[in-house]
A and B are shown apart, each in its own frame.
Chain A
Amino acid sequence: MTIWWLLLILGSLGAAGIGFIWLIVHVSRMSGGKSSNLNDSIEAAAREDVEHIFNDDFREELRNRGRLNFENIINENAMFLQQDLRLTIAQINDYMKGEITTKLQAEFEKYEQGINDAKQLAVESLQKTNQAIDEERKKLSEQIQADIEATKRLLIERFENNMTEIVNHYLLAAIGDQIDLNDQIDFILADLEANKTAIIEDLKNGA
């Protein structure tokens, strides 16, 4: 922006100088046709005036004024440039903040979405696992129950099949040492009486 101001000022100064020179040349042309002497005298006077006007002091003054204007313009433009620079930096900061915030927010949203998806997947997986475990547990429970029933049935069948052995065993263990043969004589004689015919028959037919 400062450069544009500088160029505008320089352009104004150039245009003013050119206009001034064109005016001098136009005036000299209008006066040149009347008489060459007059013209010469006028030209000489003009040259003298020009030389008088554009002497070294006047030029030095113009230079000083131009320098001052130039410095002022430079300072103003520097100030404007500084303001623009600060404004631009502030805008860039705001823009960067906004962009970074937007990007981070987007990334955070993606990250959160990813976490939520993973969490959902984990929950679904856990639910499926729990469901599978429940089903397996139910099957296992039913299997164990069936095995227990089968084992129980088998044990009872064995018990009933071998019940006489078991009862005999427990009777012997419990009262085996208290059973006296003398107390059994009636029982034994009754059994012998029941089998007497068979015994006699076998004794008669024996070898």
Chain B
Amino acid sequence: MAHERTFKLPLSIVSPGDLRRIKREVDELCDTLLQMELREGGQKQPKMPKTSRQLDDLIEVNKANLLVKDEREALVKALNEIVDKSPVLHMSFSAEPSTKFLDKLIFYIRDSISPYAVVTVGLAPSIGAGCMVRTANKFFDLSLKQTLIGHRAELIKELDTSGIVKPVEGAS
């Protein structure tokens, strides 16, 4: 992407839905500013739309001045490209994640995997702990159950030594 290292996504923007909403806000803001430029002095100016905290964060991390047309157009262009091409990760947790948790998670993902990745958060109470990650073509089970399966031999050995379960000949 041409805007890599020049355009940043704030941690408050998490999901593709957030991106689309920010894009709509930016478009609305651009329209308002365009109307203000077209109207002559003395005429009633349109009311400036309210911006969300996520848009504020976006503007802040990118140090963009939306009153400047070029910067505004660059932001719109980058947003369009990110909305269309940003990698999406579907992550499921056992409970609704907190903002603090999501901040840490998004920070890691954008730092280690892709700076423009967004995450769709889902709920899977049955996994107990950990998470399940689904990308476009793959599924990664990072739950506690899968971890226990990975350590099955140690678990059986521990149960055998503890005497809870006696070993059975021929049992796999």
Residues of A within 8 A of B (CB): 152-153, 156-157, 159-161, 163-165, 167-168, 171-172, 176, 179, 181-182, 184-185, 187-189, 191-193, 195-196, 198-200, 202-203, 205-207
Contacts and interface: CB of A to CB of B under 8 A. Distances in A.
Contacts of B100: 182
Interface in B76-100: 87, 89, 93-95, 97-98, 100
A127 B158 CA distance: 53
B94 to A, nearest CB: 7
A185 B104 contact: yes
B95 to A, nearest CB: 6
Interface size class of B (residues with CB under 8 A): 35 or more
Contact of A172 (B89, B128, B168): B128
A179 B136 contact: no
A168 B101 contact: no
Interface of B: 87, 89, 93-95, 97-98, 100-101, 104-105, 108-109, 112-114, 117, 126, 128-131, 133, 135-138, 140, 142, 144-145, 148-149, 152, 155-156, 159, 165-166, 168, 170-172
B96 to A, nearest CB: 8
User: Interface on chain A toward B: helix, strand, loop, or mixed SS?
Assistant: helix
Given A156-B165, A206-B135, A181 B98 contact: yes
Nearest to A164: B148
Nearest to B139: A202
A202 B136 contact: yes
Given A153-B170, A165-B145, A189 B108 contact: yes
B130 A184 contact: yes
Contacts of B149: 164
Contacts of A179: 94, 128-129
23 contacts: A152-B168, A157-B168, A157-B172, A163-B152, A164-B149, A168-B144, A179-B94, A179-B129, A181-B101, A187-B129, A188-B105, A188-B130, A189-B105, A192-B108, A192-B112, A195-B133, A195-B140, A195-B142, A203-B114, A203-B136, A206-B137, A207-B136, A207-B137
B109 to A, nearest CB: 7
Nearest to B102: A181
Contacts of B136: 202-203, 206-207
Nearest to A191: B142
Given A156-B165, A172-B128, 13 more contacts: A153-B171, A156-B171, A160-B165, A160-B171, A163-B156, A164-B152, A168-B148, A176-B128, A184-B129, A188-B142, A189-B105, A192-B112, A207-B137
Nearest to A195: B140
A161 to B, nearest CB: 7
Contacts of A196: 112-113
